[in-house]
Chains A and B, each alone.
Chain A
Amino acid sequence: MAEKKIIDGRGSFCPGPLMELIGVLKMSQIGDELEVLSNDKGSAKDIPEWVRKVGHEYVSTTEEDGVWHITVRKTK
């Protein structure tokens, strides 16, 4: 059954929100939805770019009080 997971990448300069997402995606099931929290605005560009390149589904990005919420779905 698909799950929704939150990855709190706030304050993570190294390995950073995208690397955290890559690590968690590897151990997730197809259909799982992952929401990355990041206070680095670069994540709002980098994460969708990688997700499209690797072939997962980019769902949405929202920003609230300086925190970007980027949601993706594992498709393969």
Chain B
Amino acid sequence: MKILIIGGGMGGTILANNLARRLSAELRAGKARITMLSASDKHLYQPGLLYLAIGRTTPDALYRDQASLLEPGIEFHVDPVEEFKLDNNQVKAKSGKTYDYDVLVIATGSRMVAEEVKGLAENAEFFYTEETALKMMRRLQEFQGGKVVITVGVPHKCPMAPLEITFMLHDYFKERGLGDKVQLHYTYPINRVHSLENVAKWAGPEFGRLGITSETFFNIKEVDGAKRILRSEEGSEVQYDLLIAIPAHRGMEVIEKNGLGQNGWIPTNKTKLNMEGRTNVFVIGDTTNIPISKAGSTAHFEAETLGENIAAMIKMGMNTPVRDYDGKVFCFIEAGLDRATYAMFNYQNPPDPKAPTRAMHWFKMAYNKLYWASARGLL
């Protein structure tokens, strides 16, 4: 049985390691084979970019060699896929090589598309890549006061990021003695400050307590860099001195080019995780079109479910999943530079976040290191 995993991000890596452990006997006996194709030989801990943007970590702390994270027995190639031939159970990669599979898992992730909004890429700061996070960090260091606007596009990766960067910036400027000279203003696409109602019920009053102003029902239309004005689809506009954006995202270009899903999101069964219309193609992480958070923890829990199901296919000949993905997501929420809370939810149960604590912040700090154990499938 040939298992081919496309993508070496969080979901693909956890799944590959999970399967390698479950199928160690089958791998040794040559009855199973796990191959991973990735676009990079490096693995980036993406949540760490938030800390890089405010100068709390360095780029080297966020990377590991991808091969070093993988269990022995997993064949790893830096050879990004260019063509999916699903009817032939094959993919063709950049090297020109064709890879066959019995089971295919697509975990190619997502990318920000700030350039799709007029003026946004040129005039806003971002923290979704190493390059943009470093640029934002330098811009923040130079900033001596004024109105900082944090604005949010749809859909975006990491639903807590807008709140986290806002709370962290509040503490960052306060630490620098600029608390009285900086006005933080937050815009959000729907009619509350976060999509999760219980998170919004906590964050809204917290904004008030910290003097952070907000405007809801605000979807980014365009940015006028010369006048430093941000305009919304709803017809309002906001003046800024420093603009920080959580831009809209799309799935990867290769998904769109191959016609697997509009905007790079592949139609996926929300509990079985198979691509709609295919029984041997599965999708995890940001790449799915499941109406759920595009977050590392989503990919993590999906990968664990899928690992169990694929192993059952191989070990017991199951042709239906033994376990459903229940929509589980766990997100830390940094509420400043020294306190945090969390939200845990699934398809049936909304989250009920508690008051932020220092202990939860330190747990998050610890998780930033423990992540590498998580990627190895140990945690």
Contact = CB atoms under 8 A, between A and B. Distances in A.
A23 interface: yes
Given A13-B345, A15-B293, A46 B190 contact: yes
Given A19-B154, A54-B219, A12 B292 contact: yes
Interface string B115-134: 00000000000000000000
B317 interface: no
B154 A14 contact: no
Contacts of B217: 49-50, 53-54
A15 B155 contact: yes
A27 B260 CA distance: 15
Contacts of A18: 189-191, 195
A27 B261 CA distance: 12
Nearest to B116: A26
A73 to B, nearest CB: 16
Interface in A8-29: 8-9, 11-20, 22-23, 26-27
Interface stretch (B24-32, B41-49, B346-354): B346-354
Given A11-B270, A53-B217, A42 B234 contact: no
Contact of B159 (A14, A17, A23, A49): A14
B360 interface: no
B225 interface: no
Contact of B154 (A9, A23, A49): A23
Nearest to B190: A18
Given A14-B159, A19-B155, A26 B195 contact: no
Interface string B257-281: 0000011000000100000000000
Given A7-B291, A19-B154, A20-B291, A14 B219 contact: no
Contacts of B155: 15, 19-20, 23
B191 A49 contact: yes
Contacts, number: 74
Contacts of B327: 11
Query: Which of B154, B159, B248, B347 counts the most chain A CB atoms within 10 A?
Result: B154
Interface string A19-62: 11011001100000000000000100010011001110000000
Contacts of B270: 11
Contacts of B347: 11-12
Nearest to B298: A14
A15 B348 contact: no
Q: What class of interface size applies to chain B in its complex with A?
A: 20 to 34
Interface in B105-161: 154-155, 159
B190 A16 contact: yes
B53 interface: no
B245 interface: no
B262 A16 contact: no
A14 B195 contact: yes
B310 interface: no
A50 B191 contact: yes
Nearest to B232: A54
Nearest to A76: B233
A53 to B, nearest CB: 5
A14 B270 CA distance: 14
A14 B196 contact: yes
B329 interface: yes
A22 B6 CA distance: 29
Contacts of A9: 291
Interface of A: 7-9, 11-20, 22-23, 26-27, 42, 46, 49-50, 53-55
Given A16-B195, A22-B154, A22-B219, 20 more contacts: A8-B291, A11-B291, A11-B347, A13-B197, A13-B350, A14-B195, A14-B345, A15-B159, A15-B293, A18-B190, A18-B191, A19-B155, A20-B291, A22-B189, A23-B154, A27-B263, A42-B197, A50-B190, A53-B217, A54-B234
20 contacts: A8-B291, A11-B270, A13-B195, A14-B159, A14-B292, A15-B155, A15-B291, A16-B196, A16-B291, A18-B189, A18-B190, A18-B191, A19-B189, A20-B155, A26-B248, A27-B263, A42-B197, A50-B190, A54-B219, A54-B233
